[in-house]
Structure 1
């Protein structure tokens, strides 16, 4: 999706004068030229270009504005792996999971909810988790406008509300779970619901009073509050969920084991490289650590509870 243009210039030298002009006309002798065909020089076929490693951009833990850091990480990984790396952005998490299942992409930054689903459905492979402020968990924040009189989720009854992606853990699943514990559903509880397909979009929707409330990823709200406080200044957090496993880095089933290991190693050591450390600092990530599937058991528990409620 992004192309880098490199311009090359060729320098041409002028033709050399014939050495014969250095001799006097009387000294010139006819030159015999052998026109017998010679054996052609064997040439080595050009090596086939390395196939790009395709990395999907799903559950990124910075706003879309922070996408430039993932581009920098793309260049870093290409250098470390010795092969091209291609970023693949998709509009929703479901499409990204389909690409991982079909082999359309090789790896991805995914949301925690789609990871749990992909692990169950087609054995999506967890290879790394980011640490943020020393933790590998995050929360859902329920937010309202700073001037809103609303102080709790229950007071949002009959109001408008923004979800992110239908598959998002913090942006959809968690608030649905919270409402189920209140013996209701989003359809019955809110007067109007929208999907913004971006936590930063949901923050903006609340800040500009397009909706009364929203559920957003705590990592993205905290990132925005630290780097661009004017964007969150018009919002207020009224509820914080329990901790859930942080959006991880995964690979598709069937990926070359050697490539999987090299990618994992590049991620786990990126903080040890000055260039890589600068990229992580921009993303507000401490470092990457090996993935632990048990980190996502709380999401599985929530899914089972919701499924049980639906069967009643």
Structure 2
């Protein structure tokens, strides 16, 4: 499991430093799940090939990694095979790994699914249901004491985006600015990429930037876990809703393995251990989904 002394350091200190360095082009990681340690590893058939699974820091708040670790251990037992966890650090790198066969199954953002489905046939497995809905929004957030009342008031301010390919983490704002006849580069004093929604939230909370665009699911998760953090930040505007980030399989993934992963996720809520994992992740349960649920993402300029 994660070494918690290290995890506390990452959660409290490193996110602030990463915001300052992310614009240099290095995609940071909050916690590396692939290096997790378990004192009682689940049993599995050593003869079975490993499942290469991506649960990256881009879409996962660092405070919730313990529950994703529990999910990994749960799936290891259910599938009867070892799981290698991969954190590519950016959406584009994740797409490359899925396309080249180095990642089999991944928790991705909705835009990554749409791009991957068009480019090489990425397949939906399941989607989380949160507060009874398979939907989420983009939240434009600012410090609680910011005088800004709308996006237009942020001209000349410092902005945090999550990733160049993130819809809720940046492209939504870029589209809104296009309607105002401008671009993020022209409108903001500078734009920094944090490569994680929780890092963007912390950057706003601690005054490193004046605003950020973030995934509402992760914002709601952090707000519930840390009320003091929530008091430092307010939502200036909401855009959406969009189809929620799904779990996907690469086209090379064996059909039977896809079926097993899908079934394990869809039945996770049916047992006590699975319910505890879902509660920690703030997910009601996983449900079937379909390609049409992501048509709203395709409405972005430049999307299929």
TM-score, with length taken from structure 1:
0.82
From 212, 230, 254, the counterpart of 1:232: 230
Structure 1 stretches of 4+ moved >6 Å: none
Cα separation, 1, equivalents of 2:56 and 2:292: 21
Q: Residue 58 of structure 2 contacts residue 197 of structure 2 at CA under 8 Å; is this kept in 1?
A: no
Change (3 A) 1:60 1:157: closer
How far has the Cα of 1:60 moved from its partner?
6.5
Cα separation, 1, equivalents of 2:65 and 2:299: 32
The secondary structure found in structure 2 opposite 1:264 is helix
Q: Residue 57 of structure 1 contacts residue 87 of structure 1 at CA under 8 Å; is this kept in 2?
A: yes
What is the correspondence of 1:1-312 to structure 2 with a 5 Å cutoff?
A: 1-4=35-38, 49-58=47-56, 62-304=60-302
* Matched residues, number: 267
CA deviation profile, 1:6-45 (whole Å, cap 9, x unmatched)? 79xxxxxxxxxxxxxxxxxxxxxxxxxxxxxxxxxxxxxx
How far has the Cα of 1:271 moved from its partner?
0.4
How far has the Cα of 1:2 moved from its partner?
2.5
Cα separation, 2, equivalents of 1:168 and 1:116: 12
Question: What is the aligned-residue RMSD (CA, Å)?
Answer: 1.8
Residue segments in structure 1 that go unaligned for 5+ positions in a row? 8-46, 308-312
Change (3 A) 1:48 1:163: closer
Cα separation, 1, equivalents of 2:250 and 2:137: 26
The secondary structure found in structure 2 opposite 1:139 is strand
Residue segments in structure 2 that go unaligned for 5+ positions in a row? 1-34
Change (3 A) 1:72 1:153: same
Cα separation, 2, equivalents of 1:290 and 1:145: 37
Q: Residue 60 of structure 1 contacts residue 247 of structure 1 at CA under 8 Å; is this kept in 2?
A: no
Cα separation, 2, equivalents of 1:127 and 1:68: 23
